Amino acid sequence: MCNQTVGLIAAELERQGISTVALQLLRDVAQRLRPPRALFVPFRHGYPLDTANDPASQHAVLEAALSLAEDPTLAPPVLADFPAPVPRASRGSA
């Protein structure tokens, strides 16, 4: 779905009392629309949860998004950055 559409739908859902967190691939769109809660993810278009068939990475994105919805100290609008991805060679080591 279009980044702008997601932001507009999130704002309307919030007006109706439904909490939302939008995954945004385009920072400038999120900054312009100011959805209630948005997580900027630095992935290529079509992959808002990162790499296909990588459940650990996808879960990390979902955890980060849900943490925005769970944090009572955040006052909308919120635009948070997803942490930089860990290089594949480093995953699971340490």
Show me where the domains of the chain are located. 3-85
Label residue 40 exposed, middle or buried (CB < 10 Å: 0-12, 13-18, 19+): middle
Residue 30 tokens read as 């999120």
Tell me the pLDDT of the chain (94 aa) as tens digits: 687 888 888 889 989 999 999 999 999 988 998 999 999 999 988 899 998 899 999 999 999 999 998 988 888 899 999 985 544 444 444 4
Please answer whether residues 15 and 62 qualify as being in contact, where contact means their C-beta atoms are separated by less than 8 angstroms.
no
The stretches of 1-94 forming alpha helices (DSSP H) are 3-15, 27-33, 55-70
